[in-house]
Amino acid sequence: MALAAERLRRFKTPLRYVMGALYVLAGVMHFVVPNAYAQVVPPVFPAALALVYISGVAEIALGVGVVFRRTQRIAAWGLIALLVAVFPANVYMATSDIVLEGVPAALREPSDAALWLRLPLQGVLVAWAWWYTRPESDGGVDSSSNR
């Protein structure tokens, strides 16, 4: 098990950059097609468009923050909180037969399987972010230089 953990640790820095880039891209998309995101905000939440913009800013800031070792732990905790906060939107999408307007046809009506598989994927994303919250003594933080 220790050998597997050591092998996985080699990928920690590159995967941190991938994670950061994915969240920045996702955050930017909140500003490119905000109405598509607003459609998946559960109706019990007020000001859907404002929530879309707020979550977009958070994704961009946290995506940038996770890239730098100095801020990676706090940004990773922020990403975990964000993933928990947006989980109701994923549940709403899976349970409400939403047809997204203003998006390419291939994305307009995601399959039920894709929508339901997205729910456990949130757990994977939380675990990925959690990896960057671990203190150095736990082997959780890589030993590369601050970037």
Q: Which residues contact 5 (CB under 8 A, 6 or more apart)?
A: 139
**Inter-CA distances, 61 with 17, 56, 106, 133, Å:** 14, 9, 29, 16
**Could you tell me the two tokens for 87?**
């989980």
Of the candidates 47, 37, 15, the one whose C-alpha atom is nearest the C-alpha of residue 128 is 15
**Crossing angle for the helix pair 12-32 and 48-67, to the nearest 10 degrees:** 160
Degrees, nearest 5: CA angle 77-36-32: 75
pLDDT at 146: 46
pLDDT at 10: 84
pLDDT at 54: 97
pLDDT at 87: 95
pLDDT at 147: 47
What pLDDT tens digit does each residue of the chain (147 aa) get? Answer: 677 767 778 889 899 999 999 999 999 999 999 999 999 999 999 999 999 999 999 999 999 999 999 999 999 999 999 999 999 999 998 899 877 887 777 677 777 788 899 899 999 999 999 999 987 545 454 444 444
Amino acid occupying residue 27: G
pTM of this structure: 0.84
pLDDT at 106: 65
